[in-house]
């Protein structure tokens, strides 16, 4: 779950980062060179050429050492190579230069979810969610819900999932998370509705297919469960969900 949240976070930031603009505290004379250098770093990040991305963002930092977006991009690159301490330091620098920088708050929230520092995650994602102009408020609300869910507070988790879906009713990740919450509450038919909504929005959503299969198993609907596990194997046979689905196909679907 955490890995999926992080990947969604990173993908969102990559696609919107330079369009939104973090801005500079002290605007450099060579804005064009700075923008080009950041674009190069983001392009390398998207291609997973991390060493090159770090070199390119280092040049950007030389041009504008107090530009918050530079430090945000560095943090995302460092997170991608699992330098979590370095990523945290870069995100904090970005926030230090621009305290209301929602993209940085959202990304450090994702980092803290990954580290299971749930209170810290909630603090930073609330700052992002409170920004009504932030384009990823829906994901910030969902991240808060995930933190509460992992802390065992299902009521607060549901509250924030509902906030997320009020902002963006079609966010498939949130429907999947809501389904998991309903499973934890024993509301299995409601869970099925949520997983099926997630799948309708993204038919290749392997985790949602897997969760749907598990829920059908709990309801003793073996044929439907096995079909869901089969779909997972068709989508992503070598993923974690694919390996789990394969095990269930072996143990529960013999002859189905």
CATH number for the domain including 225?
A: 1.25.40.10
Query: How much of the chain exceeds pLDDT 70, in percent?
Result: 88
Does the residue 162 lie in any domain? no
Lowest pLDDT segment from 10-19, 107-116, 164-173, 174-183: 10-19
Domain interval for residue 150:
1-155
C-alpha dihedral sign at 178, 117, 214, 3 = positive
Does the residue 138 lie in any domain? yes
Average pLDDT, the chain: 91
Per residue, the 3-state secondary structure of the chain, as one string, reads CHHHHHHHHHHHHHHHHHHHCCCCCCCCCCHHHHHHHHHHHHHHHHCCCHHHHHHHHHHHHHHCCCCHHHHHHHHHHHHHCCCHHHHHHHHHHHHHHCCCCHHHHHHHHHHHHHCCCHHHHHHHHHHHHCCCCCCCHHHHHHHHHHHHHHCCCHHHHHHHHHHHHHHCCCCHHHHHHHHHHHHHHCCHHHHHHHHHHHHHHCCCCHHHHHHHHHHHHHCCCHHHHHHHHHHHHHHCCCCHHHHHHHHHHHHHCCCC
Q: How does residue 65 score in pLDDT terms, banded at 50, 70 and 90?
A: very high
Q: How does residue 19 score in pLDDT terms, banded at 50, 70 and 90?
A: very low
Look at residue 28 in the predicted model and tell me its pLDDT. 47
Does the residue 161 lie in any domain? no
**pLDDT, tens digit (0-9, with 9 covering 90-100), for 139-184:** 999 999 999 999 999 999 999 999 999 999 999 999 999 999 999 9
Residue 176 and residue 239 in one domain: yes
- Tell me the whole-structure pTM to 2 decimals: 0.88
Q: How many domains does the chain have?
A: 2
Does the residue 79 lie in any domain? yes
Domain boundary residue, one of 115, 130, 155: 155
Is pLDDT above 80 for 2?
A: no
Look at residue 13 in the predicted model and tell me its pLDDT. 52
Is pLDDT above 80 for 86?
A: yes
Residue 118 and residue 8 in one domain: yes
Query: How much of the chain exceeds pLDDT 90, in percent?
Result: 86
Does the residue 8 lie in any domain? yes
């Amino acid at each position: 779950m955490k890995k999926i949240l992080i990947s969604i976070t990173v993908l969102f930031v990559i696609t919107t980062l330079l369009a939104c603009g973090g801005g500079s505290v002290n605007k450099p004379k060579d804005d064009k060179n700075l923008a080009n250098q950041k674009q190069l770093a983001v392009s390398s990040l998207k291609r997973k050429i991390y060493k090159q991305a770090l070199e390119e963002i280092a040049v950007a930092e030389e041009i504008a050492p107090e530009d918050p977006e530079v430090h945000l991009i560095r943090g995302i690159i460092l997170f991608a190579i699992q330098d979590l301490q370095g990523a945290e330091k870069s995100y904090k620098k970005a926030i230090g230069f621009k305290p209301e920088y929602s993209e940085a708050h959202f990304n450090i929230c994702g980092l803290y979810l990954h580290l299971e520092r749930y209170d810290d995650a909630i603090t930073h994602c609330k700052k992002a969610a409170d920004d009504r102009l932030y384009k990823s408020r829906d994901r910030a609300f969902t991240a808060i819900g995930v933190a509460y869910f992992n802390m065992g507070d299902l009521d607060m988790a549901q509250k924030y999932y509902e906030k997320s879906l009020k902002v963006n009713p079609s966010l498939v990740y949130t429907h999947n998370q809501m389904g998991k919450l309903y499973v934890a509450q024993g509301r299995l038919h409601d869970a099925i509705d949520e997983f099926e909504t997630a799948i309708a929005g993204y038919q290749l959503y392997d985790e949602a297919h897997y969760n749907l299969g598990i829920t059908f198993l709990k309801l003793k609907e073996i044929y439907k469960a096995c079909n869901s596990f089969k779909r997972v194997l068709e989508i992503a046979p070598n993923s974690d969900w694919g390996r789990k689905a394969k095990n269930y196909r072996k143990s529960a679907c013999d002859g189905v």
